[in-house]
Amino acid sequence: MRHLLSTADLTRDDALLILDTAAELARISDRPMKKLPTLRGRTVVNLFFEDSTRTRISFEAAAKRLSADVINFSAKGSSVSKGESLKDTALTLQAMGADAVVIRHGASGAPHRLANAGWIESTVINAGDGTHEHPTQALLDAFTLRRHLRDGEGDLTGVRVTIVGDVLHSRVARSNVLLLHTLGADVTLCAPPTLLPVGVDTWPCTVSYDLDAAIADADAVMMLRVQLERMNAAYFPSAAEYSRRYGLDAQRMATLAPHTIVMHPGPMNRGMEIAADVADSERSVIVEQVSNGVSVRMAVMYLLLGGAESGIGGIA
Amino acid sequence: MSDASEMRAVLEAADVARALSRIAHEIDERTKGADDIVLLGVPTRGVALARRIGARLAEIQGHPIPVGSLDITMYRDDLRLKKARALLHTEIPTGGIDGRLVVLVDDVLFSGRTVRAALDALGDIGRPRMVQLAVLVDRGHRELPIRADYVGKNLPTSLRETVRVQLAEHDAEDAVLVGAVTA
Amino acid sequence: MSIVIRNVRPYGEDAVDLVVKHGVIIDIVPAGTGTANAEYRFDGEVVLPGLVDLHTHLREPGREDAETIRSGTQAAALGGFTCVHAMANTEPVADTAGDVELVWRKGAEAGYCDVRPVGAVTAGLRGERLAELGAMADSAAQVRVFSDDGKCVSDALLMRRALEYVKAFDGVVAQHSQEPRLTDGAQMNEGAMSARLGLAGWPAVAEEAIIARDVLLAEHVGSRLHVCHLSTAGSVEIIRWAKARGIDVTAEATPHHLALTEDLVATYDPVFKVNPPLRTEADVEALRAALADGTIDIVATDHAPHPREAKDCEWAAAAMGMLGLETALSVVIETMVDTGRLTWREVAERMSTAPARIGRVADQGRPIAVGEPANLCIVDPRTDWVVDPARLASRSRNTPFAARTMRGRVVATFLRGQATVLNGVLQ
């Protein structure tokens, strides 16, 4: 596997290899010298068609810790309506000799196009495409879940994860449902019916409209960001109603089992889908998700770029 | 790699035990009873050897010897020549390595490239006051200016031969095997 | 001067010689017995009435980079067509008598096939007020089909008025059935696949709701209605119900909706992006069954050329549409003839006779008989060919069948006795 485009492409063994590698790399973050020589002389381009400072910084830190040369290419403003810009940008990156392109794009499938259209030869890493997928986010979530609920080892068999919020528009939810299922977790999606895609019944998870029931026996609750413009598009009547029915507040948090953790991919709407009391509570692993993100992205880059061929997909 | 059944044993379990015991004594003598020794094994079998040498050395010196492991995968000079490999475990004992006497432990010393990678890896972790090298077998054919401080057995080999170290921790029993490369 | 078209099988039946003079078939005799000043020899291939496309985008005026009337009609001739209906969504929109006459005249000049302009239903396709439908009908172009294709006449009152108004000159409104609010930003068929791919869903109901409304409107005002590019099983059911009720409605299916499913979208290759979107296997099967039983009256290509940059991009940014003229008959042979669902006579009905009748084209879609115009499509149904986009006559390359092996090759096309294609080559 030359590219990381979708968590659907990862087998259980692939996913575990990435998580185990990330676990080794996480230890390096604890030592004074955080750099490894592994990708010296390799060029990684962060190609961001959407603003996402946190994701870009995470990939940048990961690449730099592996000694890669990092070029940040902010293509924001190259709107989807001027579609040829993706191709032209790709040709530019090819000419610059990019070994890997980390792409964030507003259009679902843009990384697939970049990887398969024949414009470039680089490895493509999907850093979030439209409402499709965000595979490294799912990997870091799995890493975080494993660390807290399975002592950092093995898969996630039997772990109950409830993902709450705007599943319809969430690339995080798509990637997580596929990956967590591959790793053996039981996933429940909870959202108002308007924010669940038609066809969700074919996903390997259960669906609930009732937040209280959906979190009752969860080992982890993952809250998704809800954008206020969805309200204007009539997905729900008001922010207050959404928050009341699908927000995680202190009262609801009190009903969780003692070991249950609370996750959020960020950025949070405090007071909307998650109360400040919850975000800042002891259950919250939100800050840790960020640091795990660097380790997971290092692992992905190492495995895709470190050798003569990718280490993901059929481990020797 | 040759099948173990086609290989001949040059060291048996008792020989291995004796060699390791001797290395532990030599470390004690050569370091003049230093109390700041840290043993770091190179995975996989170097770690088991480091543990055994550490246990013996602890008996000799009468205090526990810190033993850890040092994965060198990401420092290998042939990393780009092969498929990306899974990482092995690095475990630096509490107390670290700064200012200490580190003895690297590996099973077979051959080209010396593993040791060079280990020295690079070590440099990113800290600054020992001295680094020494212990190996169970030195089979010659160095490609870098590297030598071992402690050698269990010098084993002159042909480049066409393979040398395999088996340890009870990972294999059926302790042994060092030599076989001709078939092909 | 007379010609003989020797050894062809009308509708796949017995081999004959067709004797043609002044563009008219003057005699049909057993193969090898016809005499004339000149002859075209064939090898027992099937001859059909020249195909008629009710739904073609020729792009001229305005987007000559994608297609011209000349290149588009060349593609049509190569596909076996002798008449195409040029859709109105050009730049400027064909919404006046002058606009449609320009297209009509350029088609006649090119000479590869008859070009019947389609007039816009609403001025500028804006969906606000009717275009000058009567003026277009009375023009030299004799417009009978009116369509805002590409956009839906979504305003129910405006649609009612259009249906009523065109009765005065025996016109028909060809509706692009797409409820705009339900398809805002839509990218592909809504269902399990869109959920997985994270592409905004285009629900079947957005098509079906408009068709249901329109057939009821047509019934109420006693007008005829044509429904463009049916794509769902539900649409088929509504048309079937409307016909059973006696409503004067006709419907078309495109070759790509008969052949391809939404599974292709998983490649994110915009060559598979089309309006209406590719649907499911069940929908494809429903369309084939409906075309076989006559619920769907015709095959229409919706030939929609786009310049390379409109497809060489990410999915959401890409234009919707596919080439169709040069592959249409092959698709019908593969999906309908080889499967035993249509006889050659029925193919002639679906691809020539019925579209000419709906479009009120007098001298097209006529039977292969003495005294009829020699508009002919000669096809070898046994020859396979591989689609090479670079070798298509269209100026554009956006065929969804690139590198696919197609069934049956058009070997010759005659327009009023003149060969436009011989040996598969443009004349």
Chain B CB within 8 Å of residue A36 CB: yes
Domain edges within chain C: 2-46+373-426, 50-358
CATH number of C50-358: 3.20.20.140
Q: Is the dihedral of CA A14, A20, A21, A25 positive or negative?
A: positive
Helix (H) or strand (E) holding B109: strand B101-109
The answer, yes or no, to whether residue B2 has pLDDT greater than 60, is: no
pLDDT digits (tens, 9 = 90+) for C268-306: 999 999 999 999 999 999 999 999 999 999 999 999 999
Q: Give the nearest partner residue to A308 out of B80, B88, B90, using CB atoms.
A: B80
Indicate which residues of C carry an active-site annotation. 302
Nearest Cα residue in chain A from C267:
A112
**Domains observed in chain B:** 14-77+86-157 (3.40.50.2020)
Tell me the pLDDT band of C75, cut-offs 50, 70 and 90. very high
- Are the CB atoms for A7 and A138 separated by under 8 Å? yes
Is C312 in contact with A132 (Cβ distance < 8 A)?
no
Tell me the pLDDT band of A256, cut-offs 50, 70 and 90. very high
Distance from CA of A163 to the nearest CA of B (A): 31
Q: What is the DSSP letter of C50?
A: P
Q: Give the nearest partner residue to C201 out of A109, A174, A198, using CB atoms.
A: A198
pLDDT digits (tens, 9 = 90+) for A274-296: 999 999 999 999 999 999 999 99
Tell me the pLDDT band of A81, cut-offs 50, 70 and 90. very low
Tell me the pLDDT band of A229, cut-offs 50, 70 and 90. confident
Q: How confident is the model over A117-129, as a mean pLDDT?
A: 95
pTM over 0.95: no
Q: How far apart are CA C241 and CA C12, in angstroms?
A: 33
Picking from B71, B73, B76, B87 by the largest number of A CB atoms within 10 A of its own CB, the best residue to mutate is B87
Chain B residues lying within 8 Å of A37, measured CB to CB: 74-75, 120
CATH number of C2-46+373-426: 2.30.40.10
**Domains observed in chain A:** 7-134+290-305 (3.40.50.1370), 135-289 (3.40.50.1370)
Across chain C, mean pLDDT equals: 97
Helix (H) or strand (E) holding C239: helix C233-244
Helix, coil or strand: residue C23: coil
- Are the CB atoms for C179 and C209 separated by under 8 Å? yes
Q: Give the nearest partner residue to B83 out of A21, A32, A311, using CB atoms.
A: A311
Distance from CA of B122 to the nearest CA of A (A): 11
Nearest Cα residue in chain A from C308:
A84
pLDDT digits (tens, 9 = 90+) for C363-408: 999 999 999 999 999 999 999 999 999 999 999 999 999 999 999 9
Q: How confident is the model over A138-148, as a mean pLDDT?
A: 98
The residue among A98, A26, A111, A7 whose CA lies nearest residue A297 is: A26
pLDDT digits (tens, 9 = 90+) for B86-125: 899 999 999 899 999 999 999 999 999 999 999 999 999 9
A76-109: string of b/e by CB count within 10 Å (b at 16+)? eebebeebebbbbbbebbeeeebbbbbbbbbbbb
Phi, psi of C298 (to 5 degrees): -140, 160
